[in-house]
């Protein structure tokens, strides 16, 4: 495998143990990042690690410390923490299985691709059996894993020809929704408005395709960077036009369902244009007759 594994270990289901590697499923290389720069000199600002009353310190003088009281720490060397014996550091024990839709999306944190160990002859067969069993039962496997000093709940599920692992947040990391939504009404909205909104949703329903979504902000910033390098004015980045604020929700939904500029729900744009022209001619002829009379 060309990419270096983020974690290597085993997935264990009862007496079955599958050697695997984890690889990050996401990347952040496409994003533009900035450094802080001293404007007068144009040089990058650096940050030094300092101790009050002592000054800058070398990296090999720094250790981890847990604060037990104000200004008092228990100190640890990296090796001491590495020696903490936990089975979850090397083995993902699938201790529970749940339905696919049982976990609220707010718990999911970071996705990884799971690959069988290529050097183990039996790994691929066991891997494929687990994948197919998860597909047929429509279940997600749960367990706990320690990766790079952080303990996480993890979920594994089939993903195409392979298996995906996602880290989950612990319950105490999630804020209760009631704290924010308690004052909102329950199902008391206008039925006609809901019906119009449903129609609008159905018209826009389609299969998910992430490639259809672009990043206009990154494009605009990249154009600004290029313009500064080339010493020219930046080109304007086209954005979808936003309509003015509409106070009447019913009219706004009706217009959205019909199409923003269509005067009648059953009229096509061409037919609507022809109708307007016909009305204008009729009005003009009527005015001429009245004048002649």
pLDDT (tens place) for every residue of the chain, 293 residues total: 457 899 999 999 988 899 999 999 988 766 788 999 999 999 999 888 999 999 999 988 999 999 999 989 999 988 887 777 676 688 999 999 999 899 999 999 999 999 999 888 889 999 999 999 999 999 999 999 988 878 899 999 999 999 999 999 999 999 998 889 888 888 778 888 888 888 888 888 899 888 887 877 788 888 888 998 999 998 887 765 655 555 576 677 777 777 754 444 444 444 444 444 554 454 445 545 444 44
Q: What's the CA gap between 169 and 105, in Å, rounded?
A: 10
Q: Minimal CA–CA distance to 62: which of 81, 79, 77, 80? A: 77
Are 101 and 107 in contact by the 8 Å Cβ rule? The answer is no
- Map 186-236 to HEC letters: CCCCCHHHHHHHHHHHHHCCCCCCHHHCCCHHHHHHHHHHHHHHHCCCCCC
Instruction: Using alpha carbons only, give the angle 149, 119, 19 rounded to the nearest 5 degrees.
Output: 45
pLDDT of residue 29: 64
**CATH (residue range 7-28+84-171):** 2.40.290.10
Q: Does this model's pTM top 0.85?
A: no
C-alpha span between 12 and 141 (Å, rounded): 11
The residue extents of the domains of the chain are 7-28+84-171, 193-198+250-281
- Where on the phi/psi map is residue 259: left (φ > 0), alpha (ψ -120 to 50), or beta? left
What are the angstrom distances between the C-alpha of 128 and each of 14, 17, 161, 164?
A: 16, 13, 8, 13
pLDDT of amino acid 272: 44
Give the torsion sign (CA, 84, 85, 89, 94): negative
What value does the CA radius of gyration of the chain take, rounded to a whole number of Å?
A: 31
**Dihedral angle of Cα 69, 71, 75, 81, to the nearest 10 degrees:** 60
| Per-residue pLDDT, 247 | 57
- The CB-side HSE value for 160 (13 A sphere, CA atoms) comes to 4
- CA-nearest of 106, 164, 108, 154 to 131 is 164
In sequence order, the 6+-apart residues with CB closer than 8 A to the CB of 106 are 169, 174
At 245 the pLDDT is 58
Q: Tokens for 85?
A: 């014996």
CB count, 10 Å around CB of 58?
7
């Amino acid at each position: 495998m060309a990419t270096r594994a983020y974690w290597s270990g085993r997935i264990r289901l009862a007496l079955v143990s599958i050697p695997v590697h984890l690889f990050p499923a996401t990347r952040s290389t496409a994003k533009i990042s900035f450094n802080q720069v001293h404007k007068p000199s144009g040089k990058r600002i650096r940050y030094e690690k300092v101790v009050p009353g002592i000054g800058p310190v070398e990296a090999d003088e720094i250790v981890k410390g847990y604060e037990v009281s104000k200004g008092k720490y228990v100190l640890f060397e990296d090796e001491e923490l590495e020696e903490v014996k936990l089975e979850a550091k090397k083995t993902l024990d699938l201790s529970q299985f749940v339905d696919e839709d049982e976990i609220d999306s707010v718990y999911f944190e970071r996705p990884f691709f799971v690959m069988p160990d290529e050097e183990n002859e039996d790994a691929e067969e066991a891997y494929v059996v687990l994948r197919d069993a998860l597909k047929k039962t429509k279940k997600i496997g749960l367990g706990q894993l320690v990766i790079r000093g952080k303990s996480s709940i993890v979920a594994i599920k089939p993903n195409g020809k392979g298996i995906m692992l996602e880290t989950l947040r612990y319950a105490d990391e999630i804020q209760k929704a009631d704290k924010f939504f308690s004052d909102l009404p329950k199902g008391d909205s206008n039925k006609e408005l809901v019906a119009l909104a449903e129609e609008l949703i159905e018209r826009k329903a389609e299969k998910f395709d992430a490639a259809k979504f672009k990043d206009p902000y990154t494009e605009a910033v990249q154009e600004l960077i290029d313009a500064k390098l080339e010493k020219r004015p930046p080109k304007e980045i086209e954005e979808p036009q936003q309509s003015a604020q509409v106070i009447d929700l019913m009219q706004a939904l009706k217009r959205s369902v019909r199409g923003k500029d269509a005067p009648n729900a059953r009229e096509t744009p061409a037919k609507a244009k022809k109708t307007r022209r016909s009305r204008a001619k009729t009005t003009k002829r009527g005015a001429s007759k009245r004048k002649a009379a």
